[in-house]
Amino acid sequence: MTTKKQETQNKMWGGRFEAAPSDIMQQINASIDVDHRLWRQDIAGSKAHCAMLVSQGIISPEDGQAITQGLDLVANEIDEGRFEFKVELEDIHMNIEGRLRELIGDVAGKLHTARSRNDQVATDFKLWVREACQDACDKITSLQNTIEDLVEKYDDHIMPGFTHLQVAQPVTLNIHLDAYWNMLERDRTRFVDCHNRLNQSPLGACALSGTGFNTDREMTAHMLGFDGAMDNTMDAVSARDFAVEFLFCSAQCGLNLSRLSEEIILWATPQFGFMTLSDDWSTGSSIMPQKKNPDAAELVRAKTGRLNGNLLQLMTVMKALPLAYNKDMQEDKASVFESFDTLSLCLEAMTGMLESATFHKEPMRAAAESGYATATEIADWLVRNLDMPFRDAHHVTGRIVKMAEEKNCQLDELDLSDMQAVEERITDDIYEYLNCEKAIESRLPKS
C-alpha cells in the first residue's frame, strides 16, 4: 500500500473542487486497506456491467473489448502481487479504475456509465459475503463429519449427562456429540438462508434512483449468479442487513463452538479425565512441567467476544441511518472480514482438535455411575409398579438417595431391606433399572 499526499483534485470526483483533501481527510476517507479484499468481486462486477453496456448499445463493442481486456490485465497484476494499491485513490473501486485508465487510456472512463460506486460496492460486497457463506458451510460440514466419525468410533461410551453441571442422568457420548452435530446443522442452514436471502443484485441501482440509460439489470444479475435484480433501487444501495445477518450467523456458530470448547476444557482436566487432547493440539506451561493446556479450545471460547462485538459494531453503524447511501456504511466491511476469518479459524481448530482427541471409557462410566444418576429410574419404577403419583415417588426416591448418601454407597449397593425400610412394597427387580445401560435404553426416543 502506498500513500501519497494528493496534490490535485481527485480525478474521479474532484471536478468542482479547488483544493485536494488534507492528509487526515485522505486518511479517514480511504478504505483501501480493508476493501482491497473485494478485488475479485469488483473485477467480476465491472466485467458484467461492461458486457451489459455493450449488449444494450450504450458503449461500442470495441470500447467494451478494450475495457474487458484491461480489467483482465489489472486482475493479473493484483493476483500476482504486482499491483500498487494507492491510499490516495481511496478504495478498491477507484484503485482498479485508476489502473485501468493507465493501461487503456481514457476509454476506461466509459465503464462507469450508468453505474455509481454505491451500487458497485453493494454488489461487490454481496458477492463476497455469498462466497463466505458457502465457505463457512463447507467448514461446518467438515466439523460435522469429524463428529460423525467420533460418534461411530465411541458408540459404547456411557457418560453422565449434566444439568446445572451436576450429574443428572446417564447418557452416551454419542448422544452428547450428536447434540453438537444438530446445533451445527442449524448454524450451517442459517448460512444457507443468509446466502439465499442476499442473492438479489443491487447493480444498476446507480447512486440511488436508477439510471436514464437503457440498462438491463436482469442481465448483469444473472451474469453474476444472482437470482434477479433488487426491486427497489434505494433499498439496493442502502441495505446492509445481509452483512448484519452474516455477522449474526457467524456469532451464533461461534457461540455454539464456545460451548463445545468449554466442555472440552472441562473434560480434559484430570478431575474429569473424560478425554485427552493430542500433543499437537495442546501447549505446555513454562513453569509447571505437568501441565497440558487446552489453549486452542480456550481461544475458540474467547474468540466469541470478537464475533459478538462485530455484530454489535455493524448494527450500531446502521442504526438510524437515513436512506440511501451514507459514508458510514464504508465501516461495514472490516468486521465482516474479521468475523469470517475468525470463524474459519475456530471451525478448523475445533475440527483438528476433535479429530485427534481420545475419549476414555472408564472415567466416563465411573462418573455416570456416581452421583446417583439413576435415581429417576427408582421414581419411575414406583410410578409404574405401585401406581404411585410421580410427586410422591420423587419424595420416596429422595429418601432412598439420602440413605445411600449416609451409607456412602451407590444406589445399587443398597440392600433391598434398606429400600424397603423407606417403601415396603419395593421388590428385587428394581435393581435391574439401576443399571446405566438400561436407564439410557429406556429413555431413547420411541418411534
Question: Judged by CB, which is closer to ligand ARG: 14, or 273?
Answer: 14
d(CA 415, CA 421) in angstroms, rounded, equals 10
Contact 242, 194 (CB under 8 A): yes
Question: Judged by CB, which is closer to ligand ARG: 112, or 394?
Answer: 112
Contact 22, 29 (CB under 8 A): no
Instruction: Tell whether residue 187 is a contact of ligand ARG (CB under 6 A).
Output: no
Instruction: Tell whether residue 367 is a contact of ligand ARG (CB under 6 A).
Output: no
Q: Which stretch binds ligand ARG (CB under 6 A): 104-112, 212-220, 321-329, 389-397?
A: 321-329
Q: Which stretch binds ligand ARG (CB under 6 A): 113-121, 147-155, 345-353, 415-423?
A: 113-121
Question: Judged by CB, which is closer to ligand ARG: 115, or 117?
Answer: 117
Instruction: Tell whether residue 118 is a contact of ligand ARG (CB under 6 A).
Output: yes
Largest interatomic CA distance in the chain: 101
Nearest distance from residue 290's CB to ligand ARG, in Å? 52
d(CA 162, CA 80) in angstroms, rounded, equals 54
Nearest distance from residue 304's CB to ligand ARG, in Å? 27
Distances (CA, A) of 408 to 370, 401, 412: 11, 10, 12
CB atoms within 10 A of CB 264: 23
Of the candidate residues 117, 157, 190, 301, the single one contacting ligand ARG (CB under 6 A): 117
* Residues that are catalytic: 164, 285
Nearest distance from residue 250's CB to ligand ARG, in Å? 20
Q: Which stretch binds ligand ARG (CB under 6 A): 163-171, 327-335, 364-372, 382-390?
A: 327-335
Quick one: which of 128, 125, 122, 133 has its CA closest to 196? 133
Contact 94, 120 (CB under 8 A): no
Nearest distance from residue 34's CB to ligand ARG, in Å? 8
CB atoms within 10 A of CB 165: 8
Instruction: Tell whether residue 129 is a contact of ligand ARG (CB under 6 A).
Output: no
Instruction: Give the torsion through C-alpha atoms of 183, 185, 188, 190, to 10 deg.
Output: -70
Nearest distance from residue 245's CB to ligand ARG, in Å? 18
Question: Judged by CB, which is closer to ligand ARG: 82, or 327?
Answer: 327
Nearest distance from residue 31's CB to ligand ARG, in Å? 5
Question: Judged by CB, which is closer to ligand ARG: 117, or 130?
Answer: 117
Nearest distance from residue 331's CB to ligand ARG, in Å? 8
Nearest distance from residue 91's CB to ligand ARG, in Å? 4
What values do phi and psi take at 319, rounded to 5? -60, 130
Query: CB-hemisphere CA count at 13 Å for 296?
Result: 21
Pairing of strands 358-359, 275-276: antiparallel
Cell of 181: 452435530
Q: Hey, which residues does 170 pair with through a beta bridge? A: 160
Instruction: Tell whether residue 167 is a contact of ligand ARG (CB under 6 A).
Output: no
Of the candidate residues 26, 31, 250, 313, the single one contacting ligand ARG (CB under 6 A): 31
d(CA 113, CA 233) in angstroms, rounded, equals 17
Distances (CA, A) of 222 to 48, 193, 213, 284: 9, 19, 19, 54
Instruction: Tell whether residue 121 is a contact of ligand ARG (CB under 6 A).
Output: yes
Residue by residue, DSSP assigns 38-63 as: GHHHHHHHHHHHHHHHHHTTSS-HHH
Nearest distance from residue 224's CB to ligand ARG, in Å? 18
d(CA 164, CA 168) in angstroms, rounded, equals 9
Q: Which stretch binds ligand ARG (CB under 6 A): 160-168, 254-262, 324-332, 350-358?
A: 324-332
Contact 139, 352 (CB under 8 A): no
Of the candidate residues 46, 146, 330, 339, the single one contacting ligand ARG (CB under 6 A): 330
Instruction: Tell whether residue 376 is a contact of ligand ARG (CB under 6 A).
Output: no
Q: Report the interhelical angle of 92-104 vs 39-55 (nearest 10°).
A: 60
How many residues bind ligand ARG (CB under 6 A)? The answer is: 10
Contacts (CB under 6 A) with ligand ARG, residues 213-272 = none
Instruction: Tell whether residue 91 is a contact of ligand ARG (CB under 6 A).
Output: yes
Contacts (CB under 6 A) with ligand ARG, residues 47-86 = none
Q: Which stretch binds ligand ARG (CB under 6 A): 115-123, 127-135, 222-230, 258-266?
A: 115-123
Question: Judged by CB, which is closer to ligand ARG: 35, or 380?
Answer: 35
Instruction: Tell whether residue 329 is a contact of ligand ARG (CB under 6 A).
Output: yes
In which region does residue 225 sit, left (phi positive, over 0), alpha (psi from -120 to 50) or beta (all else)? left
Question: Judged by CB, which is closer to ligand ARG: 191, or 246?
Answer: 246
Can you give the binding site for ligand ARG, defined by CB under 6 A?
31, 35, 91, 117-118, 121, 325, 327, 329-330
